[in-house]
Chain A
Amino acid sequence: MAKKKNTPMYLVALALFLGGLGYLLYSGLGENTAYFLNVSEALAMPPKELSKARLFGTVAEEGIDRPADALGVSFTLLDKDQTAKTIRVDFKGVVPDTFKPGVEVIVEGGVNPASGAFSASTLMTKCPSKYQKENRG
């Protein structure tokens, strides 16, 4: 086919392109990954591997420590299914007022090796979506 004439240039361009993309992906996968874990899974891992993680869990009824007129909160995060598995979470930012005992939250941050507590940089309460009703069996 007459197509051959232009093919090498496209191949060179494609190689350059894929090389650049590969580099971006490589660096992104190296630095921007985090474990997505339930509390029980996090507890099963050695703390030093948990310098970056996103934890899913439920806020415990007991043990919410919150300064009255300042930022931040400390609380106990329960595993969604096995409520005996818990981890202490320290959060420094603005606490959303959807935050209360019993809600599902997502925290991002890492385990502080000294205290063993999870210091969170973000705290999100799960969107109470009604897009789809839950299946109630």
Chain B
Amino acid sequence: MHVTAYFALLAAMIICLAGAVAALFALWRNDYGRLGMIEKGHLLATAGVVLASAILTVALWQRDFSFVYVAEYTDTLLPLFYALTAFWAGQAGSLLFWMLTLALFGVFFAVSPAYRSLSGPTRHAYWLFFLVVEAFFLLLLTGPSNPFLEAVPPVPEGRGLNPLLRNPGMIFHPPLLFMGYAGFAIPACLALAGWLTGERASFAAAARNTAILSWIFLSAGIILGGWWSYMELGWGGYWAWDPVENASLIPWLVSTAFIHTAIVERRTKALAKTNVALAVVTFVSCILGTYLVRSGVVESLHAFGEGGVAGPLLLFMLFTLVVLAAVLMAGAPFFADRVKPLTGLMSVPGFLVILAWLMLALSVVVFLGTLWPVISKLWSTNPVGLDAGFYNRVCLPLFALVTALVAFCPLMSWSEGVRDKAGLGLTVGAFVGGGAILYGLGIHLPVALFAGAASIAAMATVAYVFIRQRHARSLAGALGAYSVHLGLALVTLGIAFSGPYQLNQEAVLTPGKTMEIGGFTLTFKDLEFEENKAMAISRAVIDVTRDGKPVGVLTPERRIYTGFDQPFAEVSTIPSLGDEVYATLVSATEKKAASLKISVNPLINWIWIGGTLMCIAPFASLRRLRGKGE
């Protein structure tokens, strides 16, 4: 089976390369008769990838430890569900998953009306770029990152899945990220293809659905990752600005910029060149994310090893950027007289451009911040790094500004000036009034106050347009977009409060002792011990009261899983839309002394609520491409 799977991938790679060469020849000789063959070739390559993925899935299911990959990430005790999801627990498997998603995205796109709206030459150019991307991933999978290595001699038992990954949040976090990364290849290829052949219809229209869908996956992946970090890692936060987190945030920021400038192009025909560049940079930033995680260039808390893919990934990024520059030059003559100028700054396009600046600035800041230990070696003998305080200081004001843009943008006109004066009055009123109320409630930090006021204003604006404009309420209109922005406002509110106003306290308690935090009284009742086949558990039982009234019981645990000598913390919370009490059992002794880390997180659940809305609402914006463009 190892050999079958490996050759399926190898054959897929050769087919992709052959298809790319055929597409290149067709473009070279202006002979577009063999499109059907290229499309069938892609289907065949996809079949190869699906076959290889199926073999890996079956091997995981049967715990076939003759596969090195299966032995590395599963064992016989692991429940079936987690065994199957070990597919993406390691580098080789996650790259295979990325490839599988990429191929399936390609298949679905090839039967979409968007694909059929393209001219013959553009379709050929699209396949040229897309098949090269696929061939690159297949090269990694058949070379440095092969998931089908055979264990010689076979091992009797696997090493088991990392307990940190045994959580629903972690199970779906990586594949969602990879699905997002994979999907953004299509807008990039369409952008290059359309610009190279001088396609009449903008690629932004054809790429719209794929871009939105990929953005949904990426956002969902990031939000789940934050939730997992909060619920599973037990340090009281959800975002630590660790290089691994930053690596997934950069593509999100760039793609958000792209999705918004693409709106400007579809409506006003401006920014065509910018969009080609942004679509490709989005794709490159997805690769960059993987590179940062896999290359070991930055010291991170997560000990990802160097898996032999760093060099190829770096080269491929540089290659893509060179191709982008070449295509932009080659296609420029087609577009010299077609592109319309941008309207003034005080208009919807103007605001969207500012938003793109903010997003790009944020991505550059996060990128440079992540690489600072490497960059600082230019002038310092010892590497200088940046702590989370740096990112919070630089990025949070920019995010607050984004929310303010979201509050005011719907009231602007597409051409110039304010469209809705009454709405503007309401939004300004909500901003000032909301800010005053928050100030009265004791929120005095400028950035938190501004962000809070901006999110209240943004919510008021969305409510106002929902009431006043039928367009905003209808599925065919902007319902999806406004709902995403409502979600963003809720997330902003959650971040603005749960970050700076979090209370933290650490204590060692013995049964019967109490502690106070933020108006809550916590009484440590007992420490329980429990043991079963899969794990040994110590559990602290803590009664929580506020002003004498019971609020709930916290039961943070420490678990020692069979096969791992390290204990893992299971966090316990008392869920609340206001102040959420959060407890981690950091260590416990035989004498029942428990070291506890308690925090009170105000409004934190609004991040997950708003984040969920941000991931669901864009589905309402997906629509069939009608005729020529929109």
- Which residues from chain A sit less than 8 Å from chain B, CB to CB? 1-3, 5-6, 9-10, 13-14, 17, 20-21, 24-25, 27-29, 31-37, 41, 45, 54, 56, 68-71, 93-98, 106, 108, 124, 126-135
Contact = CB atoms under 8 A, between A and B. Distances in A.
A68 B365 contact: no
A31 B388 CA distance: 11
Given A34-B384, A36-B384, A124-B301, 9 more contacts: A9-B345, A17-B354, A31-B393, A36-B382, A54-B385, A94-B597, A132-B90, A132-B304, A133-B305
Contacts of B393: 24, 27-28, 31-32
Contact of B305 (A29, A56, A96, A135): A135
Contacts of B305: 131-135
A97 to B, nearest CB: 4
B385 A33 contact: yes
A97 B567 contact: yes
A74 B73 CA distance: 36
Given A25-B394, A71-B595, A97-B587, A32 B386 contact: yes
9 contacts: A2-B341, A6-B343, A29-B386, A36-B373, A36-B382, A54-B385, A124-B301, A134-B305, A135-B305
Given A36-B383, A97-B567, A98-B567, A69 B301 contact: no
A6 B383 CA distance: 44
A24 B394 contact: yes
A131 B145 CA distance: 13
A129 B341 contact: no
B78 to A, nearest CB: 13
A71 B361 contact: no
Name, among A31, A34, A134, the residue most crowded by chain B CB atoms within 10 Å (CB to CB).
Answer: A34
Contacts of A14: 357
B589 interface: yes
Interface in B390-414: 390, 393-394, 397-398
B297 interface: no
A94 B586 contact: yes
A129 B385 CA distance: 22
B341 A131 contact: no
Nearest to A131: B304
Given A13-B345, A37-B382, A71-B508, A129 B299 contact: no
A130 B159 contact: yes
A37 B385 CA distance: 9
Interface residues of B, number: 60
Contacts of A93: 506
A68 to B, nearest CB: 7
Contacts of A3: 341-342
Contacts of B353: 10
A56 B300 CA distance: 11
B162 interface: yes
Given A3-B341, A9-B345, A10-B345, A131 B89 contact: yes
Nearest to A124: B301
Given A9-B344, A94-B595, A97-B586, A130 B386 contact: no
A108 B299 CA distance: 14
Interface of B is mostly: mixed
B299 A36 contact: yes
Contact of B385 (A13, A36, A98): A36
A95 B626 CA distance: 61
Given A96-B586, A129-B303, A17 B357 contact: yes
B558 interface: yes
A40 B596 CA distance: 33
Interface string B556-567: 001000000011
Contacts of A31: 389, 393
A3 B339 CA distance: 10
A127 B344 contact: no
A21 B587 contact: no
A104 B160 CA distance: 22
A45 B91 CA distance: 38
Interface in B356-392: 357-358, 361, 365, 372-373, 382-387, 389-390
Contacts of A95: 586-587, 595
Contacts of A98: 566-567
B72 interface: yes
Contacts of B72: 130, 133
Contacts of B528: none
B593 interface: yes
Given A6-B342, A35-B382, A56-B299, A24 B90 contact: no
B374 to A, nearest CB: 10
Given A1-B341, A93-B506, A35 B589 contact: no
A36 B566 CA distance: 26
A73 B354 CA distance: 50
B306 interface: yes
A61 to B, nearest CB: 17
B510 interface: yes
Given A17-B361, A132-B90, A33 B386 contact: yes
B307 interface: yes
Name, among B72, B294, B303, B597, the residue most crowded by chain A CB atoms within 10 Å (CB to CB).
Answer: B303
Contacts of A133: 72, 90, 305
B485 to A, nearest CB: 21
Nearest to A129: B303
A32 B508 CA distance: 31
A6 B301 contact: no
Contacts of A97: 558, 567, 586-588
B29 interface: no
Contacts of A36: 299, 373, 382-385
A34 B566 contact: no
Given A36-B299, A94-B586, A96-B587, A13 B354 contact: yes
Contacts of A108: 387
Contacts of A129: 162, 302-304
B347 to A, nearest CB: 9
